[in-house]
Structure 1
Amino acid sequence: MRRPVVTRLLATGVAAALATAVGVSTLTLPAQAATGAADGFASQNGGTTGGAGGRTVRATTGTQIHEALCGRAGSDTPIVIEVSGTITHGNTAKVSGSSCNTAAGVIELKQVSNVTLVGVGSGAVFDQVGIHIREARNIIVQNVTVKNVKKSGSPTSNGGDAIGMESGVSNVWVDHVTLEASGGESEGYDGLFDMKGDTRYVTLSYSILRNSGRGGLVGSGDSDLGNGPVTYHHNLYENLDSRVPLLRGATAHIYNNHYVGIKESGINARAGGKAKVDNNYFEDSKDVLGTFYTDLPGYWQVAGNVFDNVSWSSKGGDTNPAGPNVTSTTTVSVPYSYRLDGASCVPALVRATAGANTGNQVSNGSCTPQTPAPTTAPTSAPTTGPTAGPTSSPQPSTPPPTAPPLGRNLSLGAGADGSGKGGGTSYGNAIDGSLSTYWQPSGSTGRISVKWGSATTVARVVVREPAGSVGSIGAWRAVDNATGVVLATGNGAGTLTFRATSLTKLNVEILGSTGTPRVAEVETYAG
């Protein structure tokens, strides 16, 4: 009978560090991620920029996501797909086209490249619908929640994987996502983040993986050894049985992650897999590092980790835990630069920054300095979806900003008022996160305002027209209500940026239009 050995290795001052609020800052990334924005191994092999430089479209159903992919000029035409609302089996149909290869009941990024899929507004939830990346390159998935994807029972999707990559995939950056299930394989679920069949140069950052039997794997079997390298950093792995991750023959850089409630085995390097394990915090878990369930060994290089109430099985047969005296068994080098946060502050830091709808926050260097923020890539004029026909024909549009922000929309939860309202509309319609409702003035000009109960810093305002409407907004401006200072002026719905200003009320004044203007959303952002 194996008897677990319990170790508690805590650096001096850990308890105090965890009791201290960890400083974070909002890193506002445009949906069209800049070259070099992806870090880790996704920054190698030419880099991962997703749909940078392409059109931006808005989707509220899975079918619309597929339509956006299928409406491009080619399968490699860059595109940014902003997703809001809940994606389900009922609204995810197969769409055909020369630039796509889709299927019903799954988000199919198959035989495509140069795509960004990003959650905006009040959030994007893929409910029982997985994201399948196959024969694809240069993909970014950011700020979305994927939950309860099943491989058995009903409904099923993506072989039970929340995000699954296979068959010639390279350069994928998955960032600030939440992946979760409601049980293990016996309940019909599989992996949360799986890579197999020649999947290379991947980074998973600032994400949450929880409540599942399997976190994720690299390599589907002991003969599938051509995957990786992959970077995992600043992620929360919570209430999982195993595979956090399982590495078959792959090289992984694993740093600044928080592991809590790992029940059976954690980082499982096997069949020649190598893991560089730096400054992670392992808590209330079992066998968090080693080679398990095989006699094909893997290897690890360790430094700066904290093992807090971790139990270890005895070695023997197909079980080779790295602890309780954890030491390196190999050396792993990485080709990119990175900065490490101290392991002692990782739990608080990750809790504050990881997952969808957290404002894409990253460390501000309270432990160590963060890597440089990305810059905005050049963009082309966005539209709401694929268009066809003569360019002189008016196109329905919901113009998003030229560089759509990914931070928290400060208008959600705020109040609103204005100069008047027409057509039975309301001020609240402009801050409800929906493009299907709107405010309109009683004439061709008017004011709609966003107001907060306390001073709020704003540096960007986005005006969106309702889905399917022809653009009618002309000249407009953003004004600080308290001082009357004009912060920025524009023409046509879209984005205005200005010096960060502390406000309690922001006025959007429409000065001209080609008819009765309609405003679906006034979004405000800190950066």
Structure 2
Amino acid sequence: MKRPTAIRLCAAATTTALAAVTGVVLLMPQASAAATGATGYATMNGGTTGGAGGQTVRATTGTEINAALCNRASSSTPITIEVEGTVNHGNTSSVSGSSCDTADDEIDLKKISNVTIVGVGGGAVFDQLGIHVRESSNIIIQNVTVRNVKKSGTPTSNGGDAIGMESDVHNVWVDHATLEASGGEDDGYDGLFDLKDNVQYVTLSYSILRDSGRGGLIGHSDSDLSSSFITFHHNLYQDIDSRTPLLRGGTTHSYDNYYVGLTKSGINSRMGGHARVDNNYFKDSRDVLGTFYTDELGYWQVSGNIYDNVTWTAPGSENHPAGPDPQSNTTVTIPYPYALDAASCVPDIVGRTAGAGKGLKVSDGNCSVPTSQPTTPTPTATPTTTGPTAPPTQPSGTNLSIGAGADGSSKGGGTSYGNAIDSDMSTYWSPNGSTGSLSVKWPSPVTVSAIRIREASGTEGRIGSWRVVDHDTGAVLASGTGAGAITFAATSLRKITFEITGSNGTPEVAEYETYAG
């Protein structure tokens, strides 16, 4: 596009011990980082508090997460695990212990309870590595990004699900997460948020699910009708083929979600499922509600939704859309209190609050986001390793971005990735929202030790927290706040990614320069 001329959620604590093998930092007991509390069905059945009241542990690798679980006195001892950095296959190994059942190449929350996993500082990214919850309860997963988890190809993790729950799981709250893929099943990916085999009392809130063939399912087959009582609210579903979610049996409540770019179908209630659908905004999508791909019908109660440029296919065998004028065909009673934002303000509210790195901000239920509320947790201890911060001096030499390629997580309307590497300060790239990533790439390895991020004129200061990631390995090269010059240890790579994890408005990157030194 061409332009015209943290409040700390955990109190300070004293380090008490270091895990001898992994270097995990252990802190004194304190409240869970999820200070605002669970919502929706996760508040029922005794509630969801995660690791509240237990010890807090700092982790920067998957192995350290596993060690934290295994070092507890028992599998139910409360614990909060603060995660910063990139968790990937290279740093996630199984750890043994009587209080855990961990695995290589995924975060396996198996046969445990009373656990919080929360991203802190510059953020937590689970890169090509999924989070698996099995036979567990009272779990909170908050402020994390899980991306590009594959079930086929290389590498694989968690059956291809970003977050998957199965086999007698109850009371889980996933909040302010970003779950994303880079394609559909043919590209090796499965679901972003799959629940199966008796998963109950779960809430997914203020999260982003995007760029995937499958948003998620409840029940893995037409004979699996045991999962139920799931709430979805203030989430963004963007560029998804279907399953937002697919519901087999059970009861769900979807309210104040923003669905945009659903290409095949959306909320698919079947096999007697009951879906309450309130004050959602559906845009530029197809068949956003109904029973699809089966004649085993489901049911829905609808109220206050907006259908903006939604198309509906004709009814037929195994195709039962609720539109073009969706009407309720059942009544679904909701047992918990909740405040509804008007559907007309949902795109704005969700854009300002949903996803990792948004400071844990939430709506007040009256179409506004209060400025005085908890923000993204600040780390309660210095990590075992830290990336350099941006120096005041500018890098010198040849800008390696000129003539290179570029891609990213998303792009705002009218912008392009190439605008950030064209030596033209009047053009720019912006993400489709307030966070996103932009990469520079080369056909063969180059050595990079500095980058310079230049914001478009008039938007200086919008970029908040960021990380620089070696896309080849997932290693975090640096993290900090604000645009400008950033240096780090010289690294040979094919692709380097600048991740914006927090911002003050929509960032506009005019130039993403890279230098050898």
The aligned counterpart of 1:241 is: 241
1:307 paired to 2:343: no
The aligned counterpart of 1:363 is: 363
1:113 paired to 2:80: no
1:46 paired to 2:29: no
Contact 2:75–2:98 (8 Å) recurs in 1: yes
- 1:272 counterpart letter in structure 2: G
Residues in 2 aligned to 1:278 and 1:250: alpha-carbon distance in whole angstroms: 17
The aligned counterpart of 1:86 is: 86
- 2:75 counterpart letter in structure 1: S
Residues in 2 aligned to 1:42 and 1:414: alpha-carbon distance in whole angstroms: 45
Residues 347 and 102 (structure 1), Cα distance of their counterparts in 2 relative to 1, 3 Å cut = same
Contact 1:339–1:369 (8 Å) recurs in 2: no
- 1:274 counterpart letter in structure 2: H
- 2:343 counterpart letter in structure 1: A
Contact 2:292–2:321 (8 Å) recurs in 1: yes
- 1:172 counterpart letter in structure 2: V
The aligned counterpart of 2:25 is: none
- 2:48 counterpart letter in structure 1: T
Residues 29 and 293 (structure 1), Cα distance of their counterparts in 2 relative to 1, 3 Å cut = farther
Residues in 2 aligned to 1:368 and 1:327: alpha-carbon distance in whole angstroms: 29
Residues 247 and 27 (structure 1), Cα distance of their counterparts in 2 relative to 1, 3 Å cut = farther
Residues in 1 aligned to 2:381 and 2:198: alpha-carbon distance in whole angstroms: 34
* TM-score, normalization by structure 1: 0.66
The aligned counterpart of 2:287 is: 287
1:128 Cα deviation from its structure 2 partner: 0.4
Contact 2:34–2:142 (8 Å) recurs in 1: no
1:373 Cα deviation from its structure 2 partner: 7.7
The aligned counterpart of 1:476 is: none
Kindly provide the CA deviation profile for residues 300-329 of structure 1, in whole angstroms up to 9, marking residues without a partner as x.
Answer: 000000000000000010000000011000
SS in 2 for 1:49: coil
1:365 Cα deviation from its structure 2 partner: 4.6
Kindly provide the CA deviation profile for residues 229-268 of structure 1, in whole angstroms up to 9, marking residues without a partner as x.
Answer: 1000000000000000000002000000000000000000
- 1:57 counterpart letter in structure 2: V
Unaligned runs of 5+ in 1: 1-25, 375-381, 385-396, 399-410, 416-452, 455-527
Alignment RMSD: 3.4
1:364 Cα deviation from its structure 2 partner: 3.6
Contact 1:208–1:355 (8 Å) recurs in 2: yes
- 2:294 counterpart letter in structure 1: T
Q: Of the two structures, which has the highest relative contact order with CA contacts closer than 8 Å and spacing of 6 or more?
A: 1
1:367 Cα deviation from its structure 2 partner: 2.1
Contact 1:161–1:193 (8 Å) recurs in 2: yes
Unaligned runs of 5+ in 2: 1-5, 11-30, 375-379, 393-459, 462-517
The aligned counterpart of 1:201 is: 201
SS in 1 for 2:362: strand
Contact 2:134–2:166 (8 Å) recurs in 1: yes
SS in 1 for 2:140: strand
SS in 2 for 1:229: strand
The aligned counterpart of 2:251 is: 251
- 1:159 counterpart letter in structure 2: G
Q: Which has the larger radius of gyration?
A: 1
Contact 2:241–2:265 (8 Å) recurs in 1: yes
Residues in 1 aligned to 2:81 and 2:306: alpha-carbon distance in whole angstroms: 39
1:134 paired to 2:142: no
- 1:325 counterpart letter in structure 2: D
Contact 2:339–2:365 (8 Å) recurs in 1: no
Residues in 2 aligned to 1:261 and 1:88: alpha-carbon distance in whole angstroms: 29
The percent identity for this pair of structures is: 65
* TM-score, normalization by structure 2: 0.67
Counting matched residue pairs gives 374
The aligned counterpart of 2:168 is: 168
Residues in 2 aligned to 1:332 and 1:149: alpha-carbon distance in whole angstroms: 34
Kindly provide the CA deviation profile for residues 6-30 of structure 1, in whole angstroms up to 9, marking residues without a partner as x.
Answer: xxxxxxxxxxxxxxxxxxxx98755
Residues 40 and 29 (structure 1), Cα distance of their counterparts in 2 relative to 1, 3 Å cut = farther
- 1:214 counterpart letter in structure 2: R
The aligned counterpart of 1:221 is: 221
Residues in 1 aligned to 2:356 and 2:260: alpha-carbon distance in whole angstroms: 19
Contact 1:243–1:265 (8 Å) recurs in 2: yes
The aligned counterpart of 1:67 is: 67
Kindly provide the CA deviation profile for residues 179-223 of structure 1, in whole angstroms up to 9, marking residues without a partner as x.
Answer: 000000000000000000100000000000000000000000111
Residues in 2 aligned to 1:235 and 1:103: alpha-carbon distance in whole angstroms: 30
SS in 1 for 2:50: coil
SS in 2 for 1:153: coil
Residues in 1 aligned to 2:211 and 2:162: alpha-carbon distance in whole angstroms: 12
Residues in 2 aligned to 1:164 and 1:53: alpha-carbon distance in whole angstroms: 26
